Amino acid sequence: MSATVELDRVSADFGSFRAVDKVSVTIGAGEFFSFLGPSGCGKTTILRMVSGFIAPSEGHIRIGGEDMDGIRPNKRPTVLIFQNLALFPLMSVWENVSFSLEMRGVDKAARRARAEELLKIVDLPGAGDKMISQLSGGQKQRVAIARALAVEPKVMLLDEPLSALDLKLRQHMRAELRAIQKRTNVTFIYITHDQGEALAMSDRVAVMSQGRLQQVAKPEDIYNNPSNGFVASFVGENNVFDGRILASQTTSARFETDIGIFEAVLHAPPSSDAKLRLYVRPEHARLVSTAPEAGNAIAVTISDISFEGNFINIHATTDQGRVLTVETRNDGSSDIPETGSRRYFTFDAQRARILADETQAAHS
C-alpha cells in the first residue's frame, strides 16, 4: 500500500514571493523521503501542495502516476501529520483514531475494533478511552500516527512532527517512525530542519534552500559528497576557506587561500564566476606536532578545548587570527593538546572539498 510521488517542475507563488521554484523529484513507492532545509525554504509549502491544501502555481504533482490537479485533500491517497498534530481534544483517543472511518460511515463497533488494532500498531494498546489531554507528548505522537494510518494512506506526509518533543523522546520516536514506516510500507515524506532527523531516518534526503532543491541523495552522500557550499554548511560543521583555484586535475585541484595553498577534491569544474570555497569537516581534520610532508597544513595555537561528551571540540587559532575547529572522539585514542600549545592543523586532500558557494540558490 504505497505510491510514488512525482513532482514535476512544481512552483508555488505567494503574491510576488516564490516559495517553491521549479522543484522536480520522484519519490519511490515505500520510500522514506525527507525534505531538509532552514525555515522558510519552502519545504512545508511542498508538503501542503502534495496534501492538496494549496495548489501549485505551476507544474504537476502525480501520486501513483495520477495527476492530482484539482483533487481536494480528502480525496487524495495522502494523509498529513501536522506539526502540532491537530488531534481533536474533545474526542477520546479511539474516536480520534477512527475519525476517518466515521467519515466513511463505518459502524461504531467496527470503528472501535479497528482503533484498538491501530493503537496496538503504534504501541498504545488499551488507551482508547483516554482523552487527548491525558496523554504525554510521545503518546499524542503515536495517536496522530494511528489516526493517519486509519486512512490507509498510500503516502504519509509528516510536518516536523517530532519538533515539540524533548531530546530523548525525539531520538526514540525517530526509530519508532522508521519502524512503523518499514512495517506499513507506506511512502513517507518527512519535513524537517533537523539534519540529524533527516539523516537518521531517511532513505533519501532532499536539501532545500530558498525554494530550490540543492541536492537529492542518500544521507551518507549528502554528508560526504555535498553538491555545493549550502549543502556542506547546512548539513554538518565545516572549516571554510575562501580562495581561488590555481591548477586543477580531473578530481582534484590546488586551491589558494590567504593562509596557504591546499590540495583538495574538486568534481565538476565550476563556472568561472562561481565563488569557490574550501570545506573541511572538523572530524576530518587532525592536529599534529610536526608539519606533514604532504602539505595541507596550517600552523596554529590551541585556543580552547570544549568537552561535548562523546566527542571533544578543539579550537585552534591561526597566526592570522582565524579560528579552526577539530573534532576528536572521546575514546582516548588521540592525545588532547594543552591550550596555548603549537600544532599543525592538517587534513587529507581526499577529505576536503572545493565547492561553489550557495550562489546556486541565489534568487532572481
Partner 1 sequence: MKELLRRYGLTLTISFIVIVAFWLLVLVILPYIYLFEASFRLYLPIDQVNGPNDVYTLSNYSTFFVTPIHRWVFLLTIVYSSAVAAISFVVAYPLAYYLSKVATNKIVPTLFLIIMIPLWVSEILRSFAWFIILSLKGPLNFALVGLDIIEEPIRWISGFQSVIIGLVYTYVLFMLFPLYNAIQSLDTNQIEAAGDLGAPWWKIHWRVILPHAKPGIASGSVMVFMLSAGSILVPSLLGSTNSRWFTEIIQQWMFESQDWNTGSAYAFLLLLLCTGFVSLVMRLFRVSLSDIAR
Residues that bind partner 1 (CB under 8 A): 51-53, 72-74, 78-80, 82-84, 86, 88, 90, 99-100, 102-104, 147, 150-151
> Crossing angle of helices 108-121/137-149, nearest 10°?
120
Least Å from the CB of residue 331 to partner 1: 45
Least Å from the CB of residue 79 to partner 1: 6
Cβ nearer to partner 1, comparing 79 with 162: 79
Least Å from the CB of residue 201 to partner 1: 22
Beta strands in 175-294 (DSSP E): 187-192, 204-209, 212-217, 239-242, 244-248, 252-257, 260-265, 276-280, 285-288
b/e per residue 216-253 (b: at least 16 CB within 10 A): bbebeebbeebbbbbbbbbbbebbbbebeeeeeeeebb
Cβ nearer to partner 1, comparing 152 with 304: 152
Cβ nearer to partner 1, comparing 103 with 294: 103
Cβ nearer to partner 1, comparing 64 with 260: 64
Cβ nearer to partner 1, comparing 93 with 207: 93
66-67 and 212-217 beta bridge pairing: unpaired
Residue among 53, 331, 102, 361 nearest 232 (CA): 361
Q: Pull the grid cell for residue 312.
A: 571533544
Least Å from the CB of residue 113 to partner 1: 18
Tell me if 40 sits within 8 A of 100, measured CB to CB: no
Least Å from the CB of residue 3 to partner 1: 16
Cβ nearer to partner 1, comparing 75 with 329: 75
Cβ nearer to partner 1, comparing 26 with 74: 74
263: which strand partners?
A: 254
Query: What whole-number distance in Å separates Cα of residue 310 and Cα of residue 308?
Result: 6
Least Å from the CB of residue 126 to partner 1: 23
Q: How far is CA 92 from CA 41, 132, 246, 348, in A?
A: 36, 6, 68, 59
Least Å from the CB of residue 189 to partner 1: 14
